[in-house]
Amino acid sequence: MNKTSSEASAFVPQLLDRLPRPLNCELVLAPPFTALESVRTALGPSSEIGLAAQNLHWESHGPFTGEVSGPMLRDLGCRYVLVGHSERRSLFGERDDEVHKKIRAALTHELRPILCVGESLAERETGQTESVVTTQLKRALVDRSEQELSRIAIAYEPIWAIGTGRAATVEQAAAVHRSIRGFISTGWNKEVALTMRVLYGGSVTPQNIDSLLATDDIDGALVGGACLDPDSFATIALAGHKKRS
């Protein structure tokens, strides 16, 4: 919940001025609902940068005051949507069954979900990381086809690392990413697992992005606080650009 519509509109050209063209990696902006229209306008109709929403409701319309639906997001130019972010889960009580319905709604309305999963500090310290993450995946992705899986990205965001400055080590993140691919490979097939994008999110910074992207287990980053400053965000995007060059 950062940046008003006018602040977001001013941010976009500052970011664009710092990025090379063409950009070798895929970059997606996920502003608040109130800034989606202004960011789309600032990016322009031919921008290679995608637009994402931070959440959606699982119904397309109806008596759900305060909610935003998939068709509304598509009409605003969104191609992606975050689903199951840890703050939605921890602060607003979002449950796995709701995440499942949101994944289904996003796919129905031609949005590409970025499914967020991750464990708490207590769960990590008691050795439950893999079981927690795979349970979240199992409940969110039940009944999804191989074709649908190809349209979904997974973001591993350890709750204990979000906004704390305490990022997971590359080894910790890579181990969870491998277990995610293993789960997908077992539940669907190896090809889907290998081609699915698995991102890391949790105190990603200009200082640690190179080491995170140095391993083939990590396909990209879900950036939080570091994306609010155009210099910081551009540095992270440039790391992805160089990695994919």
Q: Return the HEC string of 72-140.
A: HHHHCCCCEEEECCHHHHHHHCCCHHHHHHHHHHHHHCCCEEEEEECCCHHHHHCCCHHHHHHHHHHHH
As annotated, the active-site residues are 85, 157
The predicted pLDDT at position 60 comes to: 98
Cα 142 from Cα 119, distance rounded (Å): 20
What does the pLDDT read at residue 244? 79
Quote the pLDDT of residue 47. 95
Taking CA atoms, 34 is separated from 74, 97, 117, 151, in Å, by 15, 27, 25, 26
- pLDDT per residue, tens digit, the chain (245 aa), is 999 999 999 999 999 999 999 999 999 999 999 999 999 999 999 999 999 999 999 999 999 999 999 999 999 999 999 999 999 999 999 999 999 999 999 999 999 999 999 999 999 999 999 999 999 999 999 999 999 999 999 999 999 888 777 778 999 999 999 999 999 999 999 999 999 999 999 889 999 999 999 999 999 999 999 999 999 999 999 999 998 77
Domains of the chain and any CATH numbers: 5-243 (3.20.20.70)
pTM of the model as a whole: 0.96
Give the pLDDT score at 166: 79
